[in-house]
Structure formats: structure tokens, C-alpha cells
Amino acid sequence: MSKSGFCPDFFMKGTSVNRLPLFPITTKTENNLLTIAGHDLSTLAEKYGTPLYLYDRATMDASATAYKSALATRYPASASVTYAGKAFLNRAVAQWTQLHNLYVDCTGEGEIGMALAGDVPHEHILVHGVNKSSTDLTTAVKHAGTIVVDNLTELERIANQYPVTNYQLPNLWLRLLPGVSVQTHHAHTQTGQHDSKFGMTGKEIMEAAQFCKEKNLPLNGIHFHQGSNFRDASPLKAAIELGLDLAAEIGFADGWRFSPGGGWGVAYHEDELPQPNADEYVRVIAESIIGGTQARRLSLPHLHLEPGRSLVARAGVAVYRVGAIKRRGEKVWILTDGGMTDNPRHAMYGARYSCLAVSNPGGENVEKVSIAGPYCESGDVVIEDLPMPKLEAGDLVAIPASGAYHLSMSSNYNGSRKPAVLLLEKGQARLIQRRETIEDLLRRDLGFE
Ligand SMILES: Cc1ncc(COP(=O)(O)O)c(C=O)c1O
């Protein structure tokens, strides 16, 4: 690298347009401008301000359809797909889930409330949570079709607080801790390993099943989740075997429910392309369940597929405007108006991202840049050392794979206000969430007197 920082090395050869497959499926470069669903991103940024979040309806539809078609060809019994509310939930997204007949996984009463606001019917609401509060449980008993019980203490609380003699309880599934994790980029995105905080061991599952029998509780399924954003489905097989062993021991009859979870991956960076294949994920799960139930003479369960972020991550794009640019030796800081408050994933666990310049997506990469936000934290960084064309103050950058765990994990740190969100369709850009205001920040404040 020269002192100016302008010295293309081996990794910077060529342009950055090979990043397009990270973006929604309708993304194009037209006259060297980035468009999604036919909308020019710089026009949207002018109109709605930045940071701005865009969701491409066609990509959301395509991912839901890919899982449903794979299930239709690979799994001979009934099956459905669950949307992970924790990835991104609001009224519009909840409404969208029902266009595809999806179940919605809600963690606690807040997400149940959002699902209800989007008219998700109670039978499609699944309630998860590792330490559900009393109000979580009360809301779940009232509004959910299924509670996924995480531990024996929770099961006892359900039995004591909502005796079957007085309440029509939702179905109960038991969350198994399979003791097998999948390969993820960081320990914080694993959930199935033996020392995880989630779920019950096989022994605890059998105790829970016995308890349900004694108390006449409506137990009808098993769930597990092994980790997030993985692309080798093979560790699912051992966990499915364990789940089926337990189902056989419990003696589940026809119509029982099996939800082998683990969020299938998406590509966040060009090094991770091609995009993981939804059919491969479904094939491994379907074949394991079909073979495993035959071997145990167990009836085929209703399969609840839970592919996590992969339903929505690729559909979302974050658009930031560049402000100051600082060159510190080899380090080039591109300071933008978005950062860790709308996307904490790099700060939390080093998630890697890529991006394109909105007005010059096909430009030659000339230097490695790091994209950092305006907040008062050194960790307020979203991208590190990514080859990019020359950027200037006022330019826009578009960050792909921003659809999951950005806004749902966003904060108001430094008084930042959460961005506006648009749902893009051909010929229509719908504002589905307005930008927060200072009034929103103060809404809960009661003042001193
Ligand atoms: C029960 C359950 N479902 C779904 C998910 C979401 O999976 P992903 O992180 O791949 O979106 C998680 C994540 O921890 C989970 O615990």
C-alpha cells in the first residue's frame, strides 16, 4: 500500500459487482446505479432519508416458496414452515407471514403482541423463550397455539398456574438440548451444544413427558435448535435421531409434531457465495425423519421446518450515507450515518459484511475501507477492510443481507432514532415503518415533577 492508500493489491483486482448475488433477487445495476425491484436507491434515500432499510417483497416470497416447494417434494406427510419473529417482526411482516401460511415463532409477549397486530391466527403462534415471565406465559396461554417448554420449572409453573380443569391450554412441545451443535462463525450463535442455556437433556425430556402424562397436559411435540446461520446440515442428523428416540419412548401417536431447528445460512460476504441451498437443508431433515421413523415404527410427524434468518435476511438492504472519510496509514475509515444502533452484529460477534456504492456499483476497487457509524463507541463498526471503489462524502453505500437481526436488535444509543423501513415491489415502495422521532424517544419519560 502506498501512503495515499491507493494501491490495488491482488484481492482488489476487478470491480465489486460480483457482490450482487448477496443482494435481493431483483437487484440490478442500471446505468451504473443500483436498483431494487426497479427502484433507484438514491431517489429513495433522498425521499426517506438515511439510514434507510429496504425489504424486497419478491425475495421474501421466493424464500418462503423455496422451502414450501422443497417440503412438498421431499416430505410425504404434512409439513409447515415457521418464521422466526426474532429475526425481524412488525405489523407488515406479520401480515406477510400469513400470505404464505407460515407459523410465527414468538419469544415472549412482545412478539406475540406484534404477531396479533398483524392478524396471525392463534394456531400459527408458537411461543419460545428460555425463561418466560408470568405475563409471557399468560399471554401465550391466551393467544398461542403452541408453547415450546424450555425447562421443567416452566412446565411446573404452567401446570400450577393454568390447571387443565380451568384452562384450555395451547399444545405443548418440549425443547430438547441435543448436545450437538452446528458449525457457526461464533460461539454466540450456537444453541445445541451440551452446555447451552437452551432446552432440556434427554433425561429431563422424559421427566417432563411423565409429568405431562400425570397432569394430563396437552403434550404433542418435540423441538430443538442447534445454531444459527450454518451451511452444513449433517449435524442435524444426530439430533434428529435423538429426538426420534425420545418421541418413540414417549409414545407419540399419529399427528405428533417435530420441529428440528437450526437457522439455515445466508451469504453475508462474497467469500460465502453461492447462497446456501434451501433444498439441501430440507433434504437432510426430510430423509433423516423418514428413515428414522421407519426404523422405529413411529408415525411420520407433522414437520415444522424452522429455517431462521434465511427467510428474510437476503431480502433486506441497509442504505447509509457517507460523511467524513479519514485516512490513518493503511486504515481508511468511511464514516456513515448508520452503524451499531441499527446493526449491532459486527460489534456483538464480529459478523462480516460487504457492500456496494449505490452510484458506482461497477467501479474499480482501489482501496480497502472500514465502514463505521457515528456513535460514541470504538466498536461501532459494521465492515472492516473491504475493497471498494473511491468513495466521497455524500455518497451512498448499500449493505446486503441486512434483513435479519438488525432492526430487531437495534437500540437508541446516543439518542439515535430507528430508521424508516420500506417494502419494495415493482412500481410500489411502501413505508411499513416510519423513522423514529425525538418524541418517540421521550414517549415513556415522565419527568421529574
Ligand atoms: C427456537 C429458535 N428458533 C429460531 C431461531 C432463529 O434462527 P436464526 O438465528 O438462524 O435466525 C433461534 C435462534 O436462536 C431459536 O432459538
What are the beta bridge partners of residue 105?
84, 126
**pLDDT tens for each residue of the chain, 449 residues long:** 333 444 444 455 677 779 999 999 999 998 989 999 999 999 999 999 999 999 999 999 999 999 999 999 999 899 999 999 999 999 999 999 999 999 999 999 999 999 999 999 999 999 999 999 999 999 999 999 999 999 999 999 999 999 888 889 999 999 999 876 656 565 666 566 677 788 999 999 999 999 999 999 999 999 999 888 888 888 899 999 999 999 999 999 999 999 997 789 999 999 999 999 999 999 999 999 999 999 999 999 999 999 999 999 999 999 999 999 999 999 999 999 999 999 999 999 999 999 999 999 999 999 999 999 999 999 999 999 999 999 999 999 999 999 999 999 999 999 999 999 999 999 999 999 999 999 999 999 999 97
**Same domain flag for 158 and 211:** yes
Centre of ligand 1 to C-alpha 260, Å, is 11
Alpha-carbon gap, residue 18 to 26, rounded angstroms:
15
Confirm whether 106 is a catalytic residue.
no
The sign of the CA dihedral 93, 98, 101, 102 is positive
Q: Domain for residue 449, yes or no? A: no
**Same domain flag for 154 and 261:** yes
**Same domain flag for 109 and 133:** yes
Centre of ligand 1 to C-alpha 103, Å, is 14
Domain carrying residue 233? 75-311
**Same domain flag for 20 and 96:** no
Of 311, 335, 357, which residue sits at a domain end? 311
Centre of ligand 1 to C-alpha 395, Å, is 35
**Same domain flag for 148 and 258:** yes
Q: Domain for residue 362, yes or no? A: yes
Q: By C-alpha distance, which of 57, 39, 38, 61 is closest to 48?
A: 39
Of 311, 340, 370, which residue sits at a domain end? 311
**Which residue minimizes the CA distance to atom 1 of ligand 1?**
225
**Which residue minimizes the CA distance to atom 9 of ligand 1?**
228
Which residues are CB-neighbours of 408 under 8 A, at least 6 positions away? 86, 87, 88, 89
DSSP state of 414: G
**Same domain flag for 284 and 189:** yes
**Same domain flag for 270 and 152:** yes
Which residues are CB-neighbours of 191 under 8 A, at least 6 positions away? 181, 198, 225, 226, 227, 228, 262
The enclosing domain of 140 has a CATH number of 3.20.20.10
- Count of C-beta atoms within a 10 Å radius of residue 168: 9
Q: Which of 89, 93, 225, 232 to mutate to test the pocket of ligand 1 (most atoms within 8 A of CB)?
A: 225
Q: Domain for residue 290, yes or no? A: yes
The total of structural domains in the chain comes to: 2
Q: Domain for residue 448, yes or no? A: no
Centre of ligand 1 to C-alpha 111, Å, is 14
**Same domain flag for 36 and 176:** no
C-alpha distances in angstroms, 436 versus 55, 91, 123, 242, 255? 18, 16, 32, 46, 45
**Which residue minimizes the CA distance to atom 10 of ligand 1?**
263
Radius of gyration of the chain (CA): 23
The enclosing domain of 374 has a CATH number of 2.40.37.10
**Same domain flag for 46 and 138:** no
Q: Domain for residue 69, yes or no? A: no
Q: Given the DSSP bridges, would you call strands 356-357 and 331-336 parallel, antiparallel or unpaired?
A: unpaired
Alpha-carbon gap, residue 435 to 417, rounded angstroms:
7
* Atom in ligand 1 nearest the alpha carbon of residue 228: 10
For residues 336 and 286, the answer to whether their CB atoms sit within 8 Å is no
* Atom in ligand 1 nearest the alpha carbon of residue 175: 1
Query: Is this prediction's pTM over 0.85?
Result: yes
Q: Is 29 helix (H, G, I), strand (E, B) or coil?
A: strand
229 lines ligand 1 (CB under 6 A): yes
**Same domain flag for 321 and 305:** no
128 lines ligand 1 (CB under 6 A): yes
194's grid cell: 451440551
**Same domain flag for 185 and 127:** yes
Of 275, 291, 311, which residue sits at a domain end? 311
Q: Domain for residue 98, yes or no? A: yes
**Same domain flag for 89 and 161:** yes
